[in-house]
Amino acid sequence: MIVRSMSALIERDLRLAIRHGGESLMPLIFLFSVIILIPLGVGPGPNLLAAIAPGMIWVAALLASLLALENLFRPDLDDGTLEQWWIGDCPAGALVVARLFSHWLITAVPVIVFAPLAAQMLYLPAEALGVLVLSLLLGTPILSLVGGLAAALTLGTNRGSVLLSILVFPLIVPVLIFATGAVSAAADGLSARAHLGLLGALLILAITLVPLATSAALRLNIE
Amino acid sequence: MSRMLETHQATYARSGEPVFEPVDLALDAGQALIVLGPNGCGKTTLLRMLAGILRPWQGKIIRHCQPAFLGHLPAFKGDLSCRENLAFQRRFHGGAGLDESRALARVGLAGLGLRPARTLSAGQKRRLGLAGLLVAPGSLWLLDEPYASLDDSGSELVDHLLTEHLAGGGAVALSAHQRKPAIAVDPVRLELKAAEMLP
């Protein structure tokens, strides 16, 4: 019953995303405009670009995830599909997980798939590519989870995106530090396991706590 | 007769101020409840609370079956077709009701299954909402102003659906303004009183 409701929600979100088209394209366009504009701004030296590549790709992924947050719950609040989450047997926390999973699929997976190409454009050493993808796989779900909590908290405020950004930024600083640290370490030929381990720990913490907090925040906002 | 819904002194408060006087009611299978009262006395709030969307501030609500709630908002996605919207509701609520095309035909939307829901008129959107009740398994219908923006034949359709649902062992609670339901069963009337404002 719970799995069926969750899969129905994910399927509908993906169907809507395909119909709108732009939701998955936007993060990609964002990623590549950053990657193409940076060398124009700082100069095309391979050493400099390789040094800033992890940070640039991660900042692009982070901002791309942030862009879509405003629309995470608001359309559902406006058309009344959100209040249906509390009717029936399926706990709202499970539906929050489903919604955040589809948000991750739509906004983060395209970035993860094209990140190695973007990294090559910035001369990131090839041995760091695997760690880059791994850090994105571990880190972008945290962005979706933390962003989802902030989106739920700001749902009641009109034009809450400023507040949303202020709420999200301090919480995702550790993610950015450990993820870029992992990629830089791998690029220098060092082991990235410590950084990736900490990222994994953050992910587990976020998966455990965020759905409960998010469903409580949503409930406050539909009342 | 099996009990579908009970409330014991249930009331709801907005920022610490009770919205309406405590409500005691019991609804059995085959019974209809009509919530009456002036604008702003909390009819929508009561129905949303009975559905489980809002939590009671005081008192208790016991549901013995799965509810289905149809409110002012359409509760479907304008960019999906009518059929896709119904298919979603059916799966989401674990539906065992009518299939999509029969539900559409039942509410007079036959042949519009592939139209995006946003292109429907206000009355057709209400009808699609009613079709949503038919595909979902909820046996306790909570309807907020089901006659709003429906024409005469649409209002008759609501009466037909209500009569069928009650005869099939379901229960209904609804709020109605202009039109009272013309159904075979005599509905229980609940006069909702707005709570006295504290000085």
d(Cα A58, Cα A115) in Å, to the nearest integer?
9
Residue range B109-161, pLDDT digits in tens: 888 888 998 898 888 999 999 998 888 878 899 999 888 888 888 888 988 89
Residue range A178-202, pLDDT digits in tens: 999 999 999 888 988 999 999 999 9
Is some CB atom of chain B closer than 8 A to the CB atom of A21? no
The stretch B86-103 carries a mean pLDDT of 84
Mean of per-residue pLDDT scores for chain A: 89
Residue range B155-193, pLDDT digits in tens: 889 888 999 888 888 899 988 876 777 777 777 888 887
What's the CA angle centered on B33, arms B181 and B142, to 5 degrees?
A: 90
d(Cα A131, Cα A188) in Å, to the nearest integer?
12
Query: Are residues A19 and B79, on separate chains, in Cβ contact within 8 Å?
Result: yes
pLDDT at B84 over 60: yes
Query: Are residues B88 and A89, on separate chains, in Cβ contact within 8 Å?
Result: no
Residue B82 has a pLDDT of 92
Query: Are residues B73 and A78, on separate chains, in Cβ contact within 8 Å?
Result: yes
pTM (predicted TM-score): 0.90
Residue B198 has a pLDDT of 54
Name the residue facing B67 among A1, A79, A87 (closest C-beta). A87
Residue A95 has a pLDDT of 93
In B, which residues are within 8 Å of A8 by CB distance?
88, 91-92
Give the pLDDT band of residue A150 (cuts 50, 70, 90): very high
For domain B1-66+139-147+154-199, say whether CATH 3.20.20.70 is its number.
no
Task: Delimit the domains of chain B by residue range.
Answer: 1-66+139-147+154-199, 72-138
In A, which residues are within 8 Å of B78 by CB distance?
79
Query: Are residues A9 and B92, on separate chains, in Cβ contact within 8 Å?
Result: yes
Is some CB atom of chain A closer than 8 A to the CB atom of B118? no
Query: Are residues A7 and B48, on separate chains, in Cβ contact within 8 Å?
Result: no
Give the pLDDT band of residue A63 (cuts 50, 70, 90): confident
Of all residues in chain A, the percent with pLDDT exceeding 90 is 46
Name the residue facing A80 among B54, B55, B74 (closest C-beta). B74
